[in-house]
Amino acid sequence: MAMFDFKLLDCTLRDGGYINNWEWGFQRAREIIYSLVQAEVDVVEVGFLRNVEGYNRNITVCNRIEELNKLLPSDSGHTMFSAMAMRSNYDITKLSPYNGDGIELIRITAHDYDIADGMDFAKEVKEKGYKLSINPINIMGYTDEQILWILNQVNDIQPYQFSIVDTFGSMKRRDLDRIVSLVDNNLDQNIRVALHLHENMSLSCCLAQ
């Protein structure tokens, strides 16, 4: 990986959906995606893959990746599209194999109580041909020993990306230094490192810097 190969991921339509119950409206969601593509954002997260009843085109939470793909523009420029799936609320058999079009990256997440199952879930996503990002929920809740176990699992799976996720916005500089040191010294260098912060203590900007 080239030095300073930074990429920006926008997750408005997915993480922002906690504010409006993901009811963006089909056309509005398409407009948001189009604007982000025009702005040359590197990765745009289209929504959640989740077990839900039926398909509602106005909501960015879907059973099938083909449903989320309906939101995408015909010309994606240099933008990659992603979706998120949580091990505890998505039946992975619903995920079609990647066919070379549409959403290319699947970011999977799991809680501390099902992280081992989450690793099996991640393997299934990768086997279906998608670029895989492994995002353990609330990395601040793990001991150093537990983080090292996670990193060993990630190295075995060889995903596209591993993400440091400060779920509750409780991370301080010393916490980030500790966790980044563990990742730098133990994660395979072929795997990208991502950082997902939450602005709870007005520290996310300085932590990102």
Query: Tens of pLDDT along 57-99?
Result: 999 999 999 999 999 999 999 999 999 999 999 999 999 999 9
CA distances from 12 to 18, 44, 47, 75, 112 (A): 10, 8, 9, 20, 25
Q: Where does the pLDDT of residue 3 fall: very low under 50, low under 70, confident under 90, or very high at 90 and above?
A: low
Percent of the chain whose pLDDT exceeds 90: 92
Predicted pLDDT at 98: 98
Q: CA-to-CA distance for 102 and 152, rounded, in angstroms?
A: 31
Query: Average pLDDT over the chain, rounded to whole?
Result: 96
Predicted pLDDT at 1: 46
Q: CA-to-CA distance for 47 and 112, rounded, in angstroms?
A: 23
From the list 187, 207, 188, the residue with the least C-alpha distance to 197 is 207
Tokens linked to 170? 């409780």
Q: Evaluate whether 198 touches 166 at the Cβ level (below 8 Å).
A: yes
Helix (H, G, I), strand (E, B) or coil at 90: coil
- The angle subtended at Cα 118 by Cα 29 and Cα 116, nearest 5°, is 165
Q: Where does the pLDDT of residue 200 fall: very low under 50, low under 70, confident under 90, or very high at 90 and above?
A: confident
Residue 106 above 50 pLDDT?
yes
- Chain segment 137-170, per-residue pLDDT in tens: 999 999 999 999 999 999 999 999 999 999 999 9
Q: CA-to-CA distance for 113 and 204, rounded, in angstroms?
A: 26
